[in-house]
A = this chain, B = another copy of it.
Amino acid sequence: MSTIRDVAKLANVSVATVSRVINANGYVNENTKQKVEEAIKQLDYRPNDVARSLFKGRSKMIALFVPDIQNPFFSELARAVEDMANKRGYTFILCNTDNDNQKEMDYLQALLQKSIDGFIFVSNTIKAIQIENVNVPMVALDRKISSGLASVTVDNRDGARQAVEHLQSIGCKQIGHICGPENVSSSRNRLQGYLDVVKKEDWLTSDFVQVGDYNIRGGFHAGLEMLKNNPSIDGIFAANDLMAIGVLKAAEYLNIPVPEKLSVIGFDDIELGKITSPPLTTIKQPIYAIGKQAAELLIKQIEDPETEVKSEIHDVELILRASTKESGEWCF
Which residues of A does B touch, CB under 8 Å?
Answer: 1, 46-51, 53-54, 59-61, 68-70, 72, 75-76, 78-79, 82-83, 86, 89, 91-96, 107, 109-115, 135, 216-217, 220-221, 245-246, 249, 252-253, 271-272, 275-277, 330-332
Contacts and interface: CB of A to CB of B under 8 A. Distances in A.
A171 to B, nearest CB: 25
Contacts of A50: 50, 53-54, 59, 113-115
Nearest to A114: B49
B70 A82 contact: no
Contact of A113 (B46, B83, B109, B276): B46
Contacts of A53: 50
Contacts of A217: 332
Contacts of A70: 72, 75-76, 79, 271
B54 A275 contact: no
B275 A47 contact: no
A260 B296 CA distance: 51
Q: Could you say how many copies of this chain the assembly holds? A: 2
A332 B91 contact: no
Nearest to A107: B86
A82 B109 contact: no
Nearest to A111: B91
28 contacts: A1-B135, A49-B114, A50-B50, A50-B54, A50-B115, A54-B54, A59-B114, A69-B78, A69-B79, A70-B72, A70-B79, A70-B271, A72-B72, A79-B96, A82-B95, A82-B96, A83-B96, A86-B96, A91-B110, A91-B111, A91-B114, A92-B93, A93-B94, A221-B332, A249-B275, A249-B332, A272-B272, A277-B277
Given A79-B69, A93-B91, A252 B277 contact: yes
A64 to B, nearest CB: 9
Output the residue of A46, A50, A75, A332 with the most chain B CB within 10 A.
A50
Contacts of A1: 135
B92 A94 contact: yes
A5 B282 CA distance: 58
Nearest to A78: B69
A300 B123 CA distance: 32
A93 B90 CA distance: 11
A301 to B, nearest CB: 19
Complex A-B, nearest 4 residue pairs according to Cβ-Cβ distance, in ascending order: A277-B277, A49-B113, A94-B94, A49-B114
